[in-house]
Structure 1
């Protein structure tokens, strides 16, 4: 951004930052008025803009406090440049030439030309996730709108909310971003599934990548999510996870599966068991039989510790590159798990929701 500002000026830099942060169309960002900010009753920041494609003025878009602060800082800069222009006529991004009062906006062609020169100047630094050269030609101002939508889809924003944020008329347009997310999550899940273990510490899948499509489908419909992994007990799966015959005994159940993406939950559960045990053992108003019944069992604690150690040791045996690959896959899975129930080792997303 510093290089872009040095090449093209502060206004172009701020326009690009607004495009990245808000996902608006280039013309919508360029034509923002000086007074384009508002706040809700609970002090959440809102950007007021005109939906240029559908000719809808005074649209309201929730934005982060950081983006709002960036715009406020730029407004002060513009106000100092044009101190005598009424605020209701002032442009947030005034063009440099033939604009003595700051009422004319930066044009999209000028911003796009400046952006293209900047991207071409750093083309040798552009790499994809695999570290391969990324084509500079596809990085255009409108591409930030797609990136904004994809970030929301990846982080579980409901489709109807994302449709409103993007101003899409058709839900089909919005769902395109979730289909990209589905492929990414499926790939991540399949990577992590190769390091999945049952409650006895036995590896479940040696080579999930070799499973054919029919086996993936069979595995997906034959399991249901539980707090620390997945359950394959038939009656519980059939009831969507609400008919477990061995409630609260996942760690000791032969139908239980877990993997590295659940390590935070497994460790948190272990700490909870240890804290409960100490609290119950320290109680002075509980009879021995009640204490023994209420205290977490040593066998459960030992088995849980063993499972955690096994998963961690399995990851430690990987190369540094493979460890990084698994960490990235886990990040994708945990992000998706906020809103979807992930089966292992595959995931199927409904057409109408993430």
Structure 2
């Protein structure tokens, strides 16, 4: 019997819009539970550590490396790996500094080698007993319930408060790095995993999230002449989404809707890949880095060919980038940037989040056909896996 179809399972990370709401309301957590609980929440969001790892931090948990950059020293109790070192930003280090000053003022007679960075509030006269993850979890749950009516997904729909738990911030930390293009092996080190497979499970971009991001970005799509493309974009994405995931068919700097090229998976352009000058070409904000890089390449090629004395005039005219292409490409870039600037701050942040998701999905999707390598190569790979 065929296997059951895979169901779209929501990730455990918290959407950026929900994280912003939580960050804006951390004063509610401090007013209700105390300063330590607020700082714990901030460190969970900024560092992606497990709740018990942050709650158990000692006073001297902040160090500087050889370059003078801050690192957080913590114990990975789950894997029994003490004295782990995590690079952190200066702003995160200042959070720790502020908490250290608070603890030193609260427990002046306790040795700094013994005092906890986050002492519990009861039965803890000398400040040596740390806040437990269970107690923080209770305070966090009551805080989230207080602001539950403000939690909204990127599309404005209510976000279920029950899904926001302290461990979610670890998944969100991994997802932010994945969206930013952090390599899996680097993220494995940041997450302090032994296996890369464990890391890959943290920053999976779900089908539902990717689809929503694609639909969001598609509403701000333009053709090569910088004209908005609204028409049948929704229908096209609907019937080709399972095949392409991130648009129609991928071409440099955007997507293509030319039927024969789409059928051939992007390898049969009838116009020799003159994308910007073609009516089938589409682009959007998620391709801005590629569009700008292409413009810089055209300008550099133009200067190099103008300075090439060995070329005859007819040869130079044949290969030099056309002024019309450069002008049209500049216009497209400016039109996309102007479209983003015309949005409200909230809408612009939503589009930027969607662009990050689309780019992350695009980086993991291969539109080519798989290749079978020689048997000797496969044997070496098998041996490497066994090792």
Output the TM-score relative to the length of structure 1. 0.71
Structure 1's 191 and 347: CA in aligned 2 closer, same or farther, altered over 3 A?
Answer: farther
Q: How many aligned positions are there?
A: 336
Look up the match of 1:217: 243
Look up the match of 2:232: 206
Q: How far apart are the structure 1 equivalents of 2:293 and 2:364?
A: 20
Structure 1's 229 and 165: CA in aligned 2 closer, same or farther, altered over 3 A?
Answer: same
Look up the match of 1:108: 133
Structure 2 unaligned blocks of 5 or more: 1-25, 371-387
Counterpart contact for 2:56–2:118, Cα < 8 Å: yes
Look up the match of 2:117: 92
TM-fit CA distance, 1:5: 1.4
Q: Please show how residues 139-150 of structure 1 align to structure 2 within 5 Å.
A: 139-150=164-175
2:101 aligned with 1:76, yes or no? yes
Counterpart contact for 1:190–1:209, Cα < 8 Å: no
Look up the match of 1:154: 179
Look up the match of 1:124: 149
Structure 1's 9 and 201: CA in aligned 2 closer, same or farther, altered over 3 A?
Answer: closer
Look up the match of 2:45: 20
Deviations along 1:239-261, one digit per CA (max 9) or x if unpaired, are 99xxxx969x6534677543343
Q: Please show how residues 159-308 of structure 1 align to structure 2 within 5 Å.
A: 159-181=184-206, 183-193=208-218, 196=221, 199=224, 206-210=232-236, 217=243, 223-226=249-252, 228-230=253-255, 250-252=275-277, 257-263=282-288, 266=291, 297-304=322-329, 307=332
1:62 to 87, 110, 124: 87
Look up the match of 2:350: 328
CA RMSD of aligned residues (A): 4.8
Counterpart contact for 1:19–1:145, Cα < 8 Å: yes
Q: How far apart are the structure 1 equivalents of 2:155 and 2:230?
A: 28
Counterpart contact for 1:191–1:326, Cα < 8 Å: no
Deviations along 1:101-120, one digit per CA (max 9) or x if unpaired, are 22111223332222222222
2:72 aligned with 1:50, yes or no? no
Output the TM-score relative to the length of structure 2. 0.66
Structure 1's 77 and 221: CA in aligned 2 closer, same or farther, altered over 3 A?
Answer: closer
Look up the match of 1:136: 161
Structure 1 unaligned blocks of 5 or more: none
Counterpart contact for 2:60–2:113, Cα < 8 Å: yes
